[in-house]
Copies of this chain bind each other. A is one copy, B any other.
Amino acid sequence: MEPMARRETDLWFTEYQTPDMRLGLRISDILLNIQTPYQHLLVVKTEQYGNLMALDGAIMITDRDEFTYHEMMSHLALCSHPKPKRVLVVGGGDGGIVRELVRYDVLEKVTLVDIDEQVIEASRKFFPSVSSALDNPKVEVRPMDALVYIKDHQDEFDVIIVDSTDPVDFAAGLFEEAFFRDVHRALRNDGMVVSQTESPMGHPGILRTAYREMRKVFPVVELCWGIMPTYPTGSWTYTLASKVHDPRKPLRLPPEGTKYYSSKIHEACFVLPPFLEKILGEGQDPA
């Protein structure tokens, strides 16, 4: 052991996206590192993407690229529902979706239900630009289990947005038919739901299952996709299910200043590459 050159501090956050694939991001500091009652909550300062929040080791948001995910989760439904006055956000405690929603004048009230209050607090503290609308008068924050909350509500929401973590542990139920039946009941007669449905290249099985579960409950189900650099494989899918309206057709313009979403992206994002159509197994659906 001879070499004695000056060394440098070398700190990394690593997400094992699968046992065989990992993304590493250089960090300069750990800002929060706690076990909540529900999950491990980590906030680090990365060189590449600004502040980063991970839950159970999986990246949820970074300062630099959260806009692609949050804009897709919000504007697709808000622009294609004719009158989205009451909106429920399931999960999404960071507040990124709520920030987008409150920019719509048509919106009267949004209720955010996240099981983990400490995620909300961490976002307030370390992601001011993401959590900026959590104190908006149109916003009600309910820290509780969304699976319980939704059973107590019916015929109440125009849009429900399911911003879940990956389908493991307490979040697994958010990808199942029983939950979508509760969502259906909580929606008004012409309601619409949007759910993140994981990576088109990385999670074909989860994606297909979620899509089929939603089709058991809703007459209209449409999948779309977009860029999301810090999520596994760098692209992501979103599934919209609807009682009446076609979610593929934008009816209004988004608020000014969107960075990822536009009316043209709205229409383009539902065009699926053939491999993705095949995953959905059109024509082979047993339902």
Contacts and interface: CB of A to CB of B under 8 A. Distances in A.
Contacts of A275: 67, 259-260
A57 interface: no
Interface in A29-49: 46-48
A267 B67 CA distance: 24
A22 B24 contact: yes
Number of copies: 2
Contact of A273 (B48, B200, B225, B265): B265
Contacts of A259: 273-275, 278
A224 to B, nearest CB: 10
Interface in A1-23: 12, 14, 18-23
Contacts of A267: 268, 271
Interface residues on A, range: 35 or more
Contact of A234 (B24, B229, B273): B229
B273 A261 contact: yes
Interface string A42-67: 00001110000000000000000101
A118 to B, nearest CB: 27
A contact patch SS:
mixed
Contacts of A268: 267-269, 271
Nearest to A235: B227
Given A21-B25, A22-B24, A26-B20, A271 B260 contact: no
Most buried by B among A26, A46, A202, A261: A26
A24 B12 CA distance: 13
A171 interface: no
Most chain B CB neighbours (cut-off 10 Å) among A264, A274, A278: A274
A200 B225 CA distance: 16
A80 interface: no
Interface of A: 12, 14, 18-26, 46-48, 65, 67-68, 200-202, 225-229, 233-235, 258-262, 264-265, 267-269, 271, 273-275, 278
Given A200-B227, A227-B234, A235-B235, 14 more contacts: A20-B46, A20-B47, A21-B48, A65-B201, A226-B273, A227-B273, A229-B234, A229-B235, A258-B274, A260-B273, A260-B275, A265-B271, A267-B271, A268-B268
